[in-house]
Chain A
């Protein structure tokens, strides 16, 4: 049987990603806040003798072109790559969800409607007739409860059935006589152009032009004869705007809603709403205008306290284990007379390099786990609400706070999540300042240094680094917001999804995701980095391992003076920072390699090479100086600008240098 491609579309918070996981068995992360799926994700379904490619599109409310994720979804649908589109709708919010359905149908997609969360319909005192819904919309409708895996096979079967069929009847909404005559005229002209006719559904294109969709107008510039059609659409718009009593785009949206009302009249029975739901009761407290913020701060304190209280003992345990392992390997190899180069490679290079990194695994698990719980429960969207007022002070709205929060886990998904922000300005500001937010990968350095130099004030020192990062992000946003991106966006809208208990499965998916991503990095980028550094520390052969006579020592010695005013002008510190650009975890790993020691041994060496003040200055440098390669890639992708990627990097380094040097110099003056 021939394979085919299916796309999953739907509003945010409809359980779309859950359907994807059920169908593909993938370990895809499910979140309960708008915009978890920021890029399309793929998986495959094997059903009987068929293999179906499944593409999960970002959750969007519409196929307009307001935010980047809508564009991703629309372009995929319009590309025609998908034979069938499964549209996952939240049955308890049919009216709004069907808006996207209509747009999919208007775009000419073959749609299977998955009526999800059917188990919650009764609770809202509603009744839905899937058969009538199906007949009025003209698409197969399947009732599902994705969270309980109900209806999944039915979806696949309906999809297979639809894929084999050529739909003859085209879906069309009646936009009323006035508009229809203009649409018809445009369609006639569009169909005269063979190229346009093959690239776009003509009626859809005519409507988009009447809606003045800027992306489409820009795309049409590529066609030779499209100018005429664009101008014609402009005339139509002007004529219609005069005739209608409301703006044309509003009129078109209204007409779509009229159609939805017509569909719902037949298929939905609404009874008087019941008492307040659990979500209402919880929101009453956590979004309270006075208590909301303290509750949020309290929750964040609990999140971090939990992470560290539980993570630190585990981290020490892992560290001791790795120490013992290194010693065991060394003595066993010596016992069998292995060559000293090989022992050095395995012990100084691989084991010492990796153990500084692996020690942090338990802490990272917990940190990602907590962020996952915030997402899955639905609290994340409330954070955006609560933070709206504080964020105003730096010229952003509440939704822009989410990328900052995600940055504490990892800057890459954080920067990608800015796609859900509607304004270019907010995206740029959030992206430029995000690298200052201290991600989990920077923790190994803090933990290592804080343990050695500030054993009694570890927590305080680590918190202070987080705060410096936040402060720099805030100042950066203010600076660029005032000087470069001045046009403030005041349109804050976010959906507050119902609270849900994070499921055990969801929690495991989060764990799995963070662990696998981290271990993958540790086994590839970080491992290769430590091996290269070991190699460069060992050549030219015969030189004392990791001495300033080695290649690495010589190169780094040239750069090291830059860091002298910050208190750590040694070549070892320099190479650690340089290699840290590969991945921030490597900073600690490199120190392990170049000092040829891991675990407690490394702690002792570091104590000799740094003072508490230079150690603090080094931590601040590690926090601020540069994002890792993966983050740089994300910045480049999301800003779509080499210039801004470069500015972000250069600016970041200057800030880091100035702050570290100030701390060291002022500290020295004060006699620390």
Chain B
């Protein structure tokens, strides 16, 4: 089922997602990739809700604006695990 494929901006707190594709302009795409946000990488959504999201990649935390989050296509692989 394709329900699990969505832009990162639609993910909720506690989701673990896998990056499928980055569908942005050259500049944004390259910047994200340089930060380690590349295809196949797992992201944990730590914070979201209208404004920018906070995600973790490995041991790094990033805040991403909505504009960018819309361009990162992800697959949800774990739902809403409670983050303490």
Binding site for B on A (CB under 8 A): 61-62, 64, 66, 92-93, 95-96, 99, 124, 247, 249-250, 253-254, 257, 275-276, 279-281, 283-284, 287-289, 381, 384-385, 388-389, 397-398, 422, 490-498
Pick the residue among A64, A93, A257, A492 that contacts B64 (CB under 8 A).
Answer: A492
B63 touches A493 (CB 8 A): yes
Report if B12 contacts A (CB, 8 A): no
Distance A91 CA – B50 CA, assembled complex (angstroms):
33
CB distance from A411 to the nearest CB of B (A): 26
Distance A99 CA – B29 CA, assembled complex (angstroms):
15
Distance A51 CA – B39 CA, assembled complex (angstroms):
46
A493 touches B36 (CB 8 A): no
A492 touches B67 (CB 8 A): yes
8 contacts between A and B (CB under 8 A): A96-B60, A249-B29, A250-B33, A275-B84, A288-B47, A289-B47, A493-B63, A494-B63
CB distance from B42 to the nearest CB of A (A): 11
CB distance from B50 to the nearest CB of A (A): 7
B34 touches A398 (CB 8 A): no
CB neighbours (8 Å) of A491 from chain B are 24, 27-28, 31, 65, 67-68
Q: A61-B35, A498-B61 are in contact. List 7 more A-B contacts (CB 8 A).
A: A93-B59, A99-B34, A124-B59, A289-B50, A385-B63, A490-B68, A491-B27
A287 touches B54 (CB 8 A): yes
A492 touches B62 (CB 8 A): no
CB neighbours (8 Å) of A385 from chain B are 51-52, 54, 63
Distance A247 CA – B39 CA, assembled complex (angstroms):
13
Report if B46 contacts A (CB, 8 A): yes
Distance A95 CA – B67 CA, assembled complex (angstroms):
25
CB neighbours (8 Å) of B50 from chain A are 289, 389
CB neighbours (8 Å) of B63 from chain A are 381, 384-385, 388, 398, 492-494, 496
Pick the residue among A95, A257, A388 that contacts B52 (CB under 8 A).
Answer: A388
CB distance from B57 to the nearest CB of A (A): 7
CB neighbours (8 Å) of B31 from chain A are 61, 66, 422, 491, 493
Report if B30 contacts A (CB, 8 A): yes
CB neighbours (8 Å) of B33 from chain A are 250, 253-254, 257
Distance A381 CA – B52 CA, assembled complex (angstroms):
13
Distance A495 CA – B50 CA, assembled complex (angstroms):
19
Report if B1 contacts A (CB, 8 A): no
Report if B38 contacts A (CB, 8 A): yes
B65 touches A283 (CB 8 A): no
B34 touches A61 (CB 8 A): yes
B30 touches A253 (CB 8 A): yes
CB neighbours (8 Å) of A283 from chain B are 46-47, 54, 61
Distance A543 CA – B69 CA, assembled complex (angstroms):
71
CB distance from B54 to the nearest CB of A (A): 6
CB neighbours (8 Å) of B6 from chain A are none
Pick the residue among A66, A275, A495 that contacts B62 (CB under 8 A).
Answer: A495
